[in-house]
Structure formats: structure tokens, C-alpha cells
Amino acid sequence: MCVSCFLIVFAEAFINVFAGALTVCILVRVLLSWVPVRLPLGLADLVFGVSEAVLGPIRRALPAMGGLDLSPFVAIIAIQIVQGLLVRLLPYPV
């Protein structure tokens, strides 16, 4: 295979792993908000920091829903849409 084919496959894998990691961070944050558990090695701080970078702007843009936070749902859908668009924009390796 050619070098450009490897780069395209690498880019697709990177996009998929990055989107999956963001989705997992958001899901872990949702679970931590329901069940307060102390995670070792500052893992909770990492999860809250990464997920707040995504959820904060969405939370500010959404109207108040009476205590119901729909920002994780909106964020996961947006991540999946952006992932699909980015993967489709990659040229298909020959």
C-alpha cells in the first residue's frame, strides 16, 4: 500500500477513537453525576475537564428545561454527526 493510503487509514482511525473517547468521557460524567464515586489518580478531574469543554457551550445555548440537562444527549448526537461527516470527507484509499 502507498503512504497516502496509510495516512488516510490513520486519519479515519484517529477520528473514530477521538469521537469514541469523547463519548465515553461524557457517559462517565453522566454516571458520576448520578452516583458520586471517587475515581483514583485524578481521573474524575480529567473526565470533568474534558467533558465540560464540550458540554459547557451546549449547556449555555440550550434553554432551561426545569432542571433537566439535555446537553450530554445533544453532545453525543453532535459528536456522531461530526464523526460521520469527517470520515466521509476522507478520500477512499485505492
Sort 40 into a burial class: Cβ within 10 Å, 0-12 / 13-18 / 19+.
Answer: exposed
Q: Provide the pLDDT for residue 59.
A: 92
Separation of alpha carbons 49 and 25, rounded Å? 9
Asked whether the beta carbons of 74 and 58 are under 8 A apart, the reply is yes
Along the 94 residues of the chain, how does pLDDT read in single tens digits?
688 888 999 999 999 999 999 999 999 999 998 988 888 888 889 999 999 999 999 999 998 888 888 999 999 999 999 999 999 999 886 6
65 CB-contact burial (10 Å; exposed 0-12 / middle 13-18 / buried 19+): exposed
